[in-house]
Amino acid sequence: MTLPDDAPDGAPDSPAPQTPDDLPVVRLKPKSKPQAIRRGFPWVYADELVTDRRTKALAPGTIARLEDAERKPLARVAVNPKSKIIARVIDREGRGVPDHAWFVARLRRALAHRERLFDAPFYRLVHAEADGLPGVIVDRFGDIAVIQPNAAWADVLLQPLADALAEVTGVTTILKNAGGRGRSLEGLDAEDAVLLGEAPAAPVPVEMNGATYMADLTGGQKTGLFYDQRENQAFAARLARGQDMLDVFSHVGGFALAALANGATSALAVDGSAPALELAASGAAASGSADRFETRQGDAFSVLEALAEEDRRFGLVVCDPPAFAPAKPALEAGLRAYERVARLSAPRVAPGGYLVLCSCSHAADLAAFQGACLRGIGRAGRKAQLIHTGQAAPDHPLLPQLAESGYLKALVFRL
């Protein structure tokens, strides 16, 4: 993790907050539809906004007043002329600006929901637009919080956000993770930082679904752990009782460790990342299930083909790959990849066993993903019952007006 040379105690200097009286005005083009903003859509695309010389000169992250083409007020927005999403709605009432009190109010509302859901402070605390903080991800690991500021406005106001986060939650360490794909689309840097306290020197244990996971908060994927699959892992774990299970694209053992903690006979975790599998093995040891846990590093497709040659079958097979279709241009190729995953994994399921297929692709909706899975299962010569459809856990709320916030899909088949 790196820090600015002139930042005392690991905290970069914060800009003076804007006030409602000094906000610039940006305006929709005449052919743009303000109804979408009024009904809750949180984004304005670059081709929908009047981008005159004044608007283009606004610094990324500037807070502005958004008006329709008839100069009627719509909302407070955060502007980034460098992004295709040129404006993000931060206050639909059109009154607030993101100062300390504003951040505190948003974070308290988000925290109240998570505290109602979970007994322990391990969860996604802020899920971007759905929690009223567009582009902002905050995952909590006990006394540590990891922020992904994936929008320019949040990067500019990162320290005020961190200050409010510490006040609301009482966390003693706050890390900035700059690995989000959205940051590059916003023209932002890839520099991680410590905003409060000290970065943990070792992976952080997280108790979830009866298992212990090891989260690498400084060198792991995303913020260190995927909380979004919590409910789907719990459901799959019930199906794994008394069964051997296979967890493909396992990362740190998300499905495998939950299955072992809930009665699976054995689990094989497959991933291309040796560090991820090492964390999975550490989690199995911490969970007391190391003697029933096995890992295999390699390309998932190649490993599935090797398991076919070995004629290994499992009562439960889970495939949770990375986003094969993160955007519309990749949709066709992504659906082919999902079909291939289904075709190769279905034969590894014992008769009467279960197959869990997941997608975190924004561009592939549920119908398209389900179609690809069924084609793959059919081409593998298997018949399937669809017994359950899962989505992200409730600490990842869905903003109904924004389809992208409903990214995660988990289909559970009995073959």
Just list the catalytic residues: 360
Cβ atoms of 10 and 3 within 8 Å: the answer is yes
For residue 94, is it left (φ>0), alpha (ψ between -120 and 50) or beta? left
C-alpha pair distances (Å), 90 with each of 22, 98, 106, 135, 326: 16, 8, 11, 10, 24
Say which residues have a Cβ less than 8 Å from residue 30's Cβ, sequence separation at least 6.
69
- What is the rounded radius of gyration, in angstroms, for the C-alpha atoms of the chain? 23
Phi and psi of 398, rounded to 5°? -95, 130
Residue 222: half-sphere exposure toward Cβ, Cα within 13 Å: 15
Residue 267 has which token pair? 């689990």
Residue 244 has which token pair? 């051997």
Residue 222 has which token pair? 């995303």
Alpha helices in 244-401 (DSSP H): 254-261, 274-287, 300-309, 331-345, 366-379
Distance of CA 16 to the CA centre of its chain: 30
Q: What is the dihedral of CA 110, 358, 324, 348, to 10 degrees?
A: 160
| DSSP H or E run through 212 | strand 211-215
